[in-house]
Amino acid sequence: MRLQGKVAVVTGGGAGMGFAVARAYAREGARVVIAEINDDDGTAAVNAIRAGGGEAIFCRTDVAEAQSVAAMAAQAVAHWGTVDILYNNAAVQLVGQDARAHELREEVWDRTYNVNIRGLWLCAKYVIPILLERGGGSIINVASPTGLVGCAPGFTAYSSSKGAVYGLTRVMAADYARDRIRVNALVPGPIATPLTKELFSDPATREGLVNAVPLGRIGQPEDVVGLA
């Protein structure tokens, strides 16, 4: 098992891509921290991993709140002793609220950036000291093609926040390379998850996304596992 003896923190690990990756990590021998804001999803994810013979704990985490993230990192160390991998997956896409720039409400912009960028940075801020003490590790930030080419019309906050993930990833990769901390961005196409369910419910939007994918279908969470 490739990750035997490793400890992985997966934010947003209770459902969708986060859960698929967390379960795959556990199958490869990692001990997993499910950092998830939804209690039911987090508990169910841990139970599923344990039922499959893996090791996992649930830590309720609001990635937009520094105190919550700090507590999660401390709990990971208290329970498993260290952290080797941070999979920065937690994000929001406020379908029906996101809009074109002049129509976008400030609170929608703030919520999107608080989770998608502030949250990603906070998790790195509190986990990197553990990786430094460990002598290295890996951080994977989940980005999106929409950060480069835009999304369906009217997703100003989401698309621009995902664009910011690229910049933050590049800076962190350069800053910590000599510390043996690898920082990469994983860029999945359209994936069927609870986050995208409402977006894909519009037939025209779904058709446009499918037509843009060479495989001719919407991806499944398990499709990203080999990349993580």
Q: Any idea which residues carry the catalytic annotation?
A: 158
Side by side, the strands of the sheet bearing 85-88 are 55-60, 31-36, 7-11, 85-88, 137-142, 181-186
Report DSSP state, residue 115. I
Do residues 82 and 134 lie in contact, with contact meaning Cβ atoms separated by under 8 Å?
yes
Phi, psi of 124 (to 5 degrees): -65, -45
Long-range contacts of 192-199 (CB under 8 A, 24+ apart): 192/218, 192/219, 192/220, 192/221, 193/15, 193/16, 193/17, 193/221, 194/15, 194/16, 195/16, 195/91, 195/92, 195/93, 196/93, 198/95, 198/96, 199/93, 199/95, 199/152
* Distance in angstroms (rounded) separating the CA atoms of residues 142 and 115: 12
Q: Are 184 and 192 in contact (CB under 8 A)?
A: no
SS3 116: helix
Q: Are 36 and 150 in contact (CB under 8 A)?
A: no
> In this structure, what DSSP letter does residue 89 have?
-
